[in-house]
Amino acid sequence: MRVLCAQLVVSSLLALTQAFYIPGFSYKSYRDGETIPLLVNKVYSDYSELQYAFAKLPFVCPPTGRIRAGHITSGTSISLNLGEVLRGDRIVVSDYELVMGVDTEARYLCSQTIDLEGIQRAKVLIRDGFVAEWIVDNLPGATSFQTIDKSRKYYAAGFKIGDETRVAPGGPAEYLLNNHVTLVIRYRRAPGKDGDKGKKVIVGFEVFPRSITANARTEAGLPEQIEGDHEPLVLAPQANGTNTAGTDSEPTALTIPYTYSVYWREDERIEWQNRWDMYFVAQDDSTNVHWLAIVSSLFICGLLTAVLPVVLTRTIRSDIKGHKDTALVGLSKTGSQISSPKREKGNLLGPMADLDTDGIESDDDTEDITGWKLLHGDVFRAPPYGGMFAPLVGSGMQLLYMAFGLLILSTLGVLNPSFRGGYVSVGVGLFIFAGIFSGYFSARIYKTCGGRSWQKNVVITAALVPGLLFATVFVLNLFVWIQASSTALPFGTLIALVLLWLFVQLPLVYAGSWFGFERMGAYTHPIRANAIPRQIPDQRWYLKSGQRLLLAGFVPFMVIFVELMFVVKSLWVDKTTYYYAFGFTGVVSAVLAITVAEVTIVATYFLLCSENYHWWWHSFAIGGSSAIWVYAYLVYCYFSKLHISGFVSSILFFTYGALASGLYALLTGTIGFLAAYAFVGRIYGAIKLD
């Protein structure tokens, strides 16, 4: 009986694993004659940050509610994950009928009559270059192209809904609506046992749109001949439209007949697991550019790495040695017993505790005690506004864990283009559950800075980044909602985000803060701060706020410049392509982290040498200073490379760009602070006498 029960459990698990579809890893096979649903999603453009649900456009065929494959009714909205909702997806089952292996030369879908307002809406979308996204078997319908040497074919996701043309140069523009689509679906034999049963898998989905006039149609609504040239359908009121103003007036409506053709083509050259490669063929030539970027980044990082051990290490070691020798001489002159130093409880400095740097005699033996060595009694003084500094570092640690998790999952292929919305959904999940690390580090730094009310710090830490993001998205959502765009978040999604913060992240931050504050306590420092702070001398020009941020931030920006260029191109310039080079991004991110740490250490050393002990905020600002250059590059792209137009689209671009730059600054600023904290603790811990 035990063996039988074990076999039943294993069989059930195998059945569940076969039934569970994992995008990018699990395939779905179809039999000949099986109906496959075609899903319509949205329309989007390079010229706009707004997207619109395809099924709600006034000039397309509305769903009729007919039953489709798997008892799915056309017009049914597909359940979406959080990432899909945030990226503006609105996926609906359409009336298009696709039967596996059955070619359809021409089929009538419907006739849609639109008024002048609908005609104008279609013209605006065509003028702004909007393309439609349809989905079959999780593959977006693609427009196929040839490479420059015509040796390879590649896909660009989406297809044009129409074209703008001019009869004569300089004449008025005419807008042609694509009312016929030829769907070419490529398939191959399914792997494994499904293939032995005659099942097939889909490896390609191509869409070829055409504009065919509404005239010369059969009773079934089909053109008399599908093949060959046809007069296009011009978006202008015609006599075939319903004339609501009377027979003697001009026509005020247009009736649009929609038709489609379906062809199935077997393609054994494409493996199912490689079917997304067709969308990346056009980007393969950029591989050499990615490697060049990595080499240049490693070169910059290598230069900094050479500066740190060769220059700083030797200089600091000589300073420490000179400081110890001078301290010993000073102690011997005052009659102190070196062999039995007096050590107070909690003072790690030993005999140096009795030295007041303000009272050191200015003789030949003490003239070498200058620069950063004078700050041993002030360098670990709590920074001003520590109640805000701790939540910033805690939130930066939260982003750091999230970014690390996303890079690992992306490099391993868990997050891939077939997992629609997965990058955003997993990112939000990692960010929320990383709240425990945010609370832990924030609470310990908060206690190190002298804070006592850790519950207050919990609220600030938990609400800082999510509150800023939610408030910004909520305000922008009002602008998008007025435009009737699918990018507008539903009210239910906003409520769900609030509940996630309230019942998941806030308790995690509370738990991490309690453990960090009550159990672990404050970080210990090798030197106790003096009661009276030193006076900071005037700083040199390159250590002033504006100059130091621009100079220090330029080096990390150069490390990520090429990769940033590809990311911007994928997100805003070529919205019909997918960014895929996560392996390159992981390498560049690692080099960036090292570069930020090294730049911050160098800048912190210069600051301490100028007898300025306010390095806490300084290191955080230096670490995140490259965000200034990142946002400046986004502004440059907006005016020189992007085609975005319209007030709302511009507001969305600049605001979301500022949010992305701010989060980047928070993440890199935290890396910079951690590096400076370790550096300062190491050099000042080394000057204590044994």
The tens digit of pLDDT for each residue in 280-291 reads 765 555 666 667
Q: What is the mean pLDDT of the chain?
A: 82
Q: Is the pLDDT of residue 271 over 60?
A: yes
Mapping DSSP to helix (H, G, I), strand (E, B) and coil, where does residue 30 land?
strand
Q: Is the pLDDT of residue 489 over 60?
A: yes
For position 286, what pLDDT does the model report?
62
How far apart, in whole angstroms, are the C-alpha atoms of residue 560 and residue 574? 20
Question: Does an H or E element contain 187, and which?
Answer: strand 180-189
Mapping DSSP to helix (H, G, I), strand (E, B) and coil, where does residue 383 land?
coil
Q: Is the pLDDT of residue 108 over 50?
A: yes
Angle between helices 545-568 and 615-623 (to 10 degrees): 30
Q: Count CA atoms within 13 Å of residue 278 on its CB side.
A: 26
10 Å Cβ neighbour count for 502? 11
For position 347, what pLDDT does the model report?
37
How far apart, in whole angstroms, are the C-alpha atoms of residue 155 and residue 171? 33
From 391, 513, 388, select the one nearest 440 (Cα to Cα). Answer: 513
For position 281, what pLDDT does the model report?
66
For position 71, what pLDDT does the model report?
66
Q: Which amino acid is at 596?
A: V
26-30, 36-40, 308-312: least confident range: 308-312
253-262, 299-308, 638-647: least confident range: 299-308
More confident call, 226 vs 546: 226
Q: Is the pLDDT of residue 486 over 60?
A: yes
CA distances (Å), 395 to each of 365, 402, 443, in order? Answer: 47, 11, 11
> What are the pLDDT digits (tens) for 532-543?
878 777 766 555
How far apart, in whole angstroms, are the C-alpha atoms of residue 258 and residue 260? 7
**For tokens 């519950």, what's the residue?**
455
For position 610, what pLDDT does the model report?
85
How far apart, in whole angstroms, are the C-alpha atoms of residue 564 and residue 560? 6
Question: What CA dihedral angle connects 496, 499, 504 and 507, to 10 degrees?
Answer: 170
> What are the pLDDT digits (tens) for 564-604?
888 888 788 766 545 555 656 778 888 899 999 999 998 99
Looking at residues 95-123, what average pLDDT do you find? 93
Looking at residues 40-69, what average pLDDT do you find? 89
For position 580, what pLDDT does the model report?
58
How far apart, in whole angstroms, are the C-alpha atoms of residue 538 and residue 655? 37
How far apart, in whole angstroms, are the C-alpha atoms of residue 107 and residue 128? 29
143-147, 301-305, 583-587: least confident range: 583-587
CB 22 within 8 Å of CB 195: no
For position 10, what pLDDT does the model report?
40
| Rounded percentage of the chain residues whose pLDDT exceeds 90 | 51
- Burial group, residue 169, by CB count within 10 angstroms (0-12, 13-18, 19+): exposed
For position 224, what pLDDT does the model report?
81
Mapping DSSP to helix (H, G, I), strand (E, B) and coil, where does residue 165 land?
strand
For position 220, what pLDDT does the model report?
84
For position 653, what pLDDT does the model report?
94
pLDDT band at 247 (very low <50, low <70, confident <90, very high): low
Looking at residues 312-320, what average pLDDT do you find? 70
> What are the pLDDT digits (tens) for 414-441?
888 888 888 889 999 999 999 999 999 9
For position 544, what pLDDT does the model report?
62
Q: Is the pLDDT of residue 352 over 50?
A: no
For position 156, what pLDDT does the model report?
87
For position 521, what pLDDT does the model report?
92
CB 450 within 8 Å of CB 517: no
Backbone CA torsion sign across 207, 211, 213, 216: negative
User: Distance between terminal CA atoms of the chain?
Assistant: 72
For position 401, what pLDDT does the model report?
96
195-199, 262-266, 270-274, 415-419: least confident range: 415-419
For position 339, what pLDDT does the model report?
37
pLDDT band at 446 (very low <50, low <70, confident <90, very high): very high
For the chain, the structural domain boundaries read: 34-239+251-275, 280-320+542-689, 385-531
Q: Is the pLDDT of residue 345 over 50?
A: no
From 370, 379, 378, 376, select the one nearest 326 (Cα to Cα). Answer: 370
> What are the pLDDT digits (tens) for 490-504?
999 999 999 999 999
Q: Is the pLDDT of residue 356 over 50?
A: no
Q: Is the pLDDT of residue 174 over 60?
A: yes
For position 250, what pLDDT does the model report?
73
DSSP state, residue 245: T
Q: Count CA atoms within 13 Å of residue 51 on its CB side.
A: 23
Write phi, then psi, for 561 (nearest 5 degrees).
-60, -50
| Rounded percentage of the chain residues whose pLDDT exceeds 70 | 81
CB 148 within 8 Å of CB 197: no
